[in-house]
Structure 1
Amino acid sequence: MIIYSEEPEVTDYEYGMRLDIAEVVAMEYFPPEPDFCGVIPAQMTYEDSTGNLNTIRYLYPETAGCHDN
């Protein structure tokens, strides 16, 4: 297990942004309530090819609460 000394700054993803992802360290999702259906904020922390930590924030389609009724 690798221990990192500081938290990376969070960057908002923009369409077409080139990401240098060597290894995903953590994924986080922020639904407003359990079983939510819709778009939610999420973020991914990753290590790039030079060993630096980066965190990118993006929108994620949460479908846990989606039901076809």
Structure 2
Amino acid sequence: MTTLRKAFAIATLSLGTTAGAFAQSIEATPYHYGMNLDIAKVIAVDAPNSTRSHASAATLTYRDSSGQVQKVSYIHPTTAANQN
């Protein structure tokens, strides 16, 4: 039984690593107003801080209700945009 548990743990860790690597290789779909997003779980938000412009490109990585990893890119206001 211990060997089975070890095998299951290794398989689980391998799947997690593979899913993470797979998520990085997915091309992000550009968001458009009214787009239907099926977000079951947010995996990551990559929104770089930039003070050079008023907006920057951000990427949301998520898992949809069918378990597929998806990415969507969108325009994210920077902290410079909030300055008076």
Determine if the TM-score, normalized by the shorter chain, exceeds 0.5: yes
Work out which structure has the larger RCO, using CA pairs closer than 8 Å and 6 or more positions apart in sequence.
1
Structure with bigger helix share is: 2
Structure 1 vs Structure 2 CA RMSD: 2.3
* Aligned twin of 2:29: 11
Q: Which stretches of structure 1, 4 residues or longer, exceed 2 Å deviation after superposition?
A: 64-68
The secondary structure found in structure 2 opposite 1:26 is strand
Q: Which has the larger radius of gyration?
A: 2
Amino acid aligned to 1:44:
L
Structure with bigger strand share is: 1
Number of residue pairs matched by the alignment: 66
How far has the Cα of 1:51 moved from its partner?
A: 0.3
**Following the alignment from structure 2 to structure 1, what is the Cα–Cα distance between the partners of residues 81 and 26?**
31
Amino acid aligned to 1:54:
Q
Instruction: Using the aligned pairs only, state the percent identity.
Output: 33
How far has the Cα of 1:27 moved from its partner?
A: 0.4
Which of these residues, 27, 31, 46, is aligned with residue 45 of structure 2? 27
Unaligned runs of 5+ in 1: none
